[in-house]
Amino acid sequence: MSLTLSHLPSKKDIKVVYPRSPSTIDPNNPPWPAFRGYHTYSFAYATMGHRLPTILGKAIDDVIETLNQESEEEKVVDLVQCIERMDKLKEDLHAHARLRPIIDDGEADVALWNKEIAKYFQGKDFMNAPWLFAEAYKYRRLRECFSVSKYWHHYDVFFRQKCDTFARSNDAVFELSTRFVEPFKHQEGLADDAKLEAERLMFMELTQICLWGNSTDLSLLINMTEEQIKSLQSTGGENLAATEKNILGNHMARLWEVVKEMRNKTGGRVDFVLDNAGFELYCDCVYADFLIQSGLAKEVRFHGKRYPWFVSDVTKKDWNWLLNSMVYGHLFRNASDQEVESLRRLGLRWKQYEQEGKWVYEQHPFWCTGYTFWDLHNEAPDLFLHLSRSDLVIFKGDLNHRKLTYDCAAPSSTEFEVAIGPMASAAGAPRVCSMRTIKSDVVVGLGSDGDELSERLEKEEPGWKISGKYAVVLLSEGRPGEKVRFA
Ligand SMILES: O=P(O)(O)OC[C@H]1O[C@](O)(CO)[C@@H](O)[C@@H]1O
């Protein structure tokens, strides 16, 4: 029997108003619609269904290589168990299994993870949980495969790949080391105006080097040839001028004003929330070096991850590896003596900064969670307070950008300040800059014509959001200097 509902009011086409108001936002009710793995034609789907299993498969191959070189029985058996756990994780991913709590493996972030799972993701699986959380969760589960072991607690399944890509970046590495080996100083006899202009130009170019250094992301370079990597890393001047037009949201001029202002106050503190190890980290350090030498900053703090994360993210081991291989390594067999010496001297200078406390490396547990940075204020108040004391916090890369913007489908014309919510609006929020080559769906900060631009690119260049060809450098003024408050 079917009912005829002819006397009821007609159905209304309700439009949801975005962004949702901050008090109603949680991971299941994001400010704009979230990306999820089950959106079949999305990059989220491609990542959850294809990229992550491939990444995991390669990670298992890496462990097998290590296993084949191990001779002690206890260690061999222990490592075999790590592989079994990785196989189980691969199965779970494949079967779209439900997200279970993280085992208490002694890591500092277990409570943060399990609280979030219990509050928002009970019964959710790898595909229907928001993409950002599901993807981060996979890396936490991968960590667990090793953190519960006896001998392989600190094993990094991505370490070999990270080292290899840096070792294959010789052209770009020496291009920079031979230019920056000597401490920065002005040409003789320049007037003050000319000095400032020279610094501005250098700052602009180095900002682009730091930005495009983010193109080299291992999780996306799985099938790239050496030539393709080299062309991505090209740091020649002409190339930089051409690439500036690909920075679709470009606040670099404002950024220069900010750092100039910092110097007027005897040099500020700049924080880098790092992304990838190897070449990108090297570019970040070249940039940070210039900030110190030009007096724009007197202190730089680098924030890395506590364990292997999204394939190529920087850990303390990667940080040490970079500096030590620059100073002592033999990575570049075909390099000239002059090139090797330039790299060694650059590395020595950076180590010196560390000893003098001008450069500080930090690793807060919050960076390896599934929370977005809208939650940084509530879930990591100590970290928020710490960052609020910085003059400028630079977030590198795509993942950090996704976390800043809650990884959801905000229109491209959305102002960056609006898209990052409390990281701009909370009292005491620091100045924030996102330097990101666009490698996933969320794109904001393109200005008032941003929606049209986005639509046009979608038609003309499908895939423009994941190619890494385009970028943004976006700045939020925040509310620096105001007293930080927690409810
Ligand atoms: O190294 P980045 O710039 O954070 O890029 C990470 C990549 O991995 C992703 O998380 C997708 O797996 C995207 O954010 C991006 O494609």
Angle between helices 252-264 and 192-212 (to 10 degrees): 130
> Which ipTM did the prediction report?
0.95
Q: Is the CB of 116 under 6 A from ligand 1?
A: no
- CA dist 275 and 455 (Å) reads 29
CB pairs under 8 A, 24+ apart, for 375-380? 376/422, 376/423, 377/422, 377/423, 377/426, 377/486, 378/486, 379/112
Tokens for 105, please give them: 């493996």
| Residue 186: predicted pLDDT | 87
| Residue 222: predicted pLDDT | 42
Residue 306 is given by DSSP the state S
Q: Is the CB of 402 under 6 A from ligand 1?
A: yes
Determine which residue's CA is closest to atom 12 belonging to ligand 1. Answer: 47
| Residue 220: predicted pLDDT | 46
Average pLDDT over residues 456-476: 95
Whether the pLDDT of residue 237 is over 80: the answer is no
Q: Is the CB of 407 under 6 A from ligand 1?
A: no
Residue 440: burial class (beta carbons within 10 Å; 0-12, 13-18, 19+): buried
The pLDDT-based confidence of 162 (bands split at 50, 70, 90) is very high
Counted residue by residue, the chain has a size of 487
Q: Is the CB of 220 under 6 A from ligand 1?
A: yes
Tokens for 56, please give them: 């995991």
- Paired strand residues for 473: 250, 435
Residue 426 is given by DSSP the state S
| Residue 23: predicted pLDDT | 77
| Residue 218: predicted pLDDT | 46
The pLDDT-based confidence of 475 (bands split at 50, 70, 90) is very high
pLDDT in tens, 203-215: 999 999 999 998 8
Determine which residue's CA is closest to atom 15 belonging to ligand 1. Answer: 439
The rounded Å distance from CA 398 to ligand 1 centre is: 5
Do strands 471-476 and 432-437 pair parallel, antiparallel, or not at all (unpaired)?
Answer: antiparallel
Q: Is the CB of 275 under 6 A from ligand 1?
A: yes
Cβ-contact 313, 218 below 8 angstroms: no
Residue 4 is given by DSSP the state -
**Of 7-16, 165-174, 206-215, 452-461, which range is least confident?**
7-16
Please give the C-alpha separations between residue 486 and each of 59, 95, 109, in angstroms, as whole numbers.
41, 41, 21
The rounded Å distance from CA 273 to ligand 1 centre is: 14
Q: Is the CB of 442 under 6 A from ligand 1?
A: no
Could you give the 3-state DSSP secondary structure of residue 121? Answer: coil
Q: Is the CB of 363 under 6 A from ligand 1?
A: no
Domain 159-476 belongs to what topology? Rossmann fold (3.40.50)
Average pLDDT over residues 344-359: 98
pLDDT in tens, 64-116: 999 999 999 999 999 999 999 999 999 999 999 999 999 999 999 999 999 99
- Residue whose C-alpha is closest to residue 158's, from 237, 68, 62: 62
- Paired strand residues for 475: 433
- Paired strand residues for 471: 247, 437
Tokens for 250, please give them: 């470009």
| Residue 171: predicted pLDDT | 87
Q: Is the CB of 138 under 6 A from ligand 1?
A: no
Cα dihedral 242, 42, 49, 214 in deg (nearest 10): 20
Average pLDDT over residues 130-148: 97
Q: State CA 306 to chain mean position distance.
A: 14
The rounded Å distance from CA 296 to ligand 1 centre is: 30
Half-sphere exposure of residue 191, counting CA atoms within 13 Å on the CB side? 2
Whether the pLDDT of residue 31 is over 60: the answer is yes
The rounded Å distance from CA 219 to ligand 1 centre is: 7
**Of 178-192, 245-259, 278-292, 432-446, which range is least confident?**
178-192
The rounded Å distance from CA 214 to ligand 1 centre is: 10
pTM confidence score? 0.93
Sequence-ordered strand ranges (E) for 241-389: 247-250, 268-273, 297-303, 359-362
Burial 372-382 (b: 16+ CB within 10 A, else e): bbbbbbebbee
The rounded Å distance from CA 397 to ligand 1 centre is: 7
**Of 29-43, 46-60, 69-83, 371-385, which range is least confident?**
29-43
- CA dist 356 and 205 (Å) reads 27
- CA dist 300 and 313 (Å) reads 19
Cβ-contact 169, 229 below 8 angstroms: yes
Peptide bond into 462 cis (omega under 30): no
| Residue 221: predicted pLDDT | 42
Q: Is the CB of 146 under 6 A from ligand 1?
A: no
Ligand 1, closest atom to CA 436? 3
Cβ-contact 213, 282 below 8 angstroms: yes
Do strands 471-476 and 359-362 pair parallel, antiparallel, or not at all (unpaired)?
Answer: unpaired
Whether the pLDDT of residue 452 is over 90: the answer is yes
Residue at 107: amino acid letter: E
| Residue 152: predicted pLDDT | 98
Sequence-ordered strand ranges (E) for 218-306: 247-250, 268-273, 297-303
Q: Quote the percentage of the chain above a pLDDT of 70.
A: 95
Whether the pLDDT of residue 230 is over 70: the answer is no
Show the DSSP H helices in 106-225 as ranges. 110-120, 131-147, 159-167, 170-180, 192-212
Q: Quote the percentage of the chain above a pLDDT of 90.
A: 77
| Residue 232: predicted pLDDT | 53
Determine which residue's CA is closest to atom 5 belonging to ligand 1. Answer: 398
How far does the chain reach from its first CA to its final CA, in angstroms? 55
Query: Token pair 């298992």 is at which residue?
Result: 60
Average pLDDT over residues 272-286: 96
Domain 25-147 belongs to what topology? Transcription Elongation Factor S-II; Chain A (1.20.930)
Mean pLDDT rounded to a whole number for the chain: 92
Q: In sequence order, which residues have a C-beta less than 8 Å from that of residue 47 and are 6 or more positions away? A: 37, 131, 135
Angle at 325 between CA 321 and CA 331, to 5 degrees: 120
Q: Is the CB of 439 under 6 A from ligand 1?
A: yes
Whether the pLDDT of residue 62 is over 90: the answer is yes
| Residue 249: predicted pLDDT | 98
Ligand 1, closest atom to CA 280? 1
Average pLDDT over residues 332-354: 97
Q: Is the CB of 37 under 6 A from ligand 1?
A: no
- Paired strand residues for 359: 300
Q: Where are the domains of the chain?
A: 25-147, 159-476
Q: In sequence order, which residues have a C-beta less than 8 Å from that of residue 249 and are 6 or more positions away? A: 416, 444, 445, 446, 447, 450, 472, 473, 474
The rounded Å distance from CA 269 to ligand 1 centre is: 27
Determine which residue's CA is closest to atom 1 belonging to ligand 1. Answer: 217
Determine which residue's CA is closest to atom 16 belonging to ligand 1. Answer: 439
| Residue 184: predicted pLDDT | 86
The rounded Å distance from CA 438 to ligand 1 centre is: 9
Task: Give the H/E segment covering residue 361.
Answer: strand 359-362
Whether the pLDDT of residue 262 is over 60: the answer is yes
Average pLDDT over residues 274-302: 96
| Residue 105: predicted pLDDT | 94
User: In this predicted model, which residue has the larger pLDDT, 425 or 28?
Assistant: 425
